[in-house]
Amino acid sequence: MRLSPDSLIYLQWGFVKLNATIVFTWALMLVLAVSAKLITRRLSTSHERSGWQNLLEIVVTAIQKQIEEIGLSRPERYLSFLGTLFLFVATASVFTIVPGYEAPTSSLSTTTALALCVLVAAPVFGITQQGLGGYLKTYVEPTFVMLPFNIISEVSRTLALAVRLFGNMMSGAMIVAILLTIMPFVLPAVMTVLGLLTGMVQAYIFSILAAVYIAAATRARKPKPEPKADTTPAHAT
């Protein structure tokens, strides 16, 4: 029994190895890119369009709307990053219904990688939005005393992001595996369905949190009725 698809190694040259995580990630990337390419190959700009195009338009506009609701004023700027996060995590969990498939997101390495990406992306967006000084100033707000806590918060939330996704995805697969040994009929299927649900929820949570962190870093929130409202994001559970 494996805790992570990382341990399933197909090829290895010293430090460099080709494990199941990387292979399934490539597979997902291939599926996403090829299907996107196929669907967007003949896009219609008229009122009549294909069902697939409609689906993609719904997905893209829904993500855009969510980003806007978080408080990011120009969602198309963050759409590529946040949208891909959501789509990758969601697709990774959806494909769990395929036998023999192991979600890359059930590997702590993958979730860490994604969390690190968020950790890097937030300051990058923040600096491009309000400059280096402006961004760094957010660490000493409201007082200089808060600097260490802000840094700890930055690190800990990245850790939490990585571990939350990993835990949920891994546990889902683990529960199904354990249940298979106890009761091989019906119940694993139900648990798989539940796993799909939790996978979608986790994809949503992961990308929403990433959006919130970026919003906090850019401070590019829309003007609210109360100008002195606390812009510090609430820490995720």
- Which residues bind to another protein, rule: CB under 8 A? 3-4, 6, 15-17, 19, 21-22, 25-26, 29, 32-33, 36-37, 40, 43-47, 53, 56-57, 60-61, 76, 79-81, 83-84, 87-88, 104, 107-110, 112-114, 116-117, 166
In this complex, which beta carbon is closest to another protein, that of residue 95 or of residue 188? 95
Q: Angle 75-94/187-218 helices, nearest 10 degrees?
A: 160
Q: Is 199 exposed, middle or buried (0-12, 13-18, 19+ CB in 10 A)?
A: buried
Question: Whose Cβ is closer to another protein: residue 15's or residue 144's?
Answer: 15
Distance of CA 108 to the CA centre of its chain: 13
Least gap, CB of 64 to another protein (angstroms)? 8
Looking at the Cβ atoms of 118 and 176, the one nearer to another protein is 118
Give me the least distance between CB of 22 and another protein, in Å please: 5
Strand partners, 73: none
Least distance (Å) between residue 149 CB and another protein: 25
Q: What is the CA radius of gyration of the chain?
A: 20
Cα(33)–Cα(215) distance, rounded to whole angstroms?
28
Which is nearer to another protein, 3 or 151 (by Cβ)?
3
Q: Give least dist CB 75 to another protein, A.
A: 10
Contact yes or no for 35/120 (Cβ under 8 A): no
Report the residue number, 82 or 191, with the smaller CB distance to another protein.
Answer: 82
Report how far residue 24's alpha carbon sits from residue 88's, in angstroms, rounded to the nearest whole number.
11
Give yes or no for a contact between 104 and 92, defined as CB atoms under 8 angstroms apart.
yes
Which CB atom, from 111 or from 138, has the smaller least distance to another protein?
111
- The nearest distance, CB 127 to another protein, in angstroms, is 18
- Spell out the alpha helix ranges (H) of the chain: 20-41, 51-70, 75-94, 108-137, 147-182, 187-218
Please give the torsion angle defined by the CA atoms of residues 22, 26, 27 and 30, in that order, rounded to the nearest 10 degrees.
170
**Taking the complex as a whole, how short is the minimal distance between the CB of residue 156 and another protein, in angstroms?**
16
Q: How far apart are CA 160 and CA 190, in angstroms?
A: 28
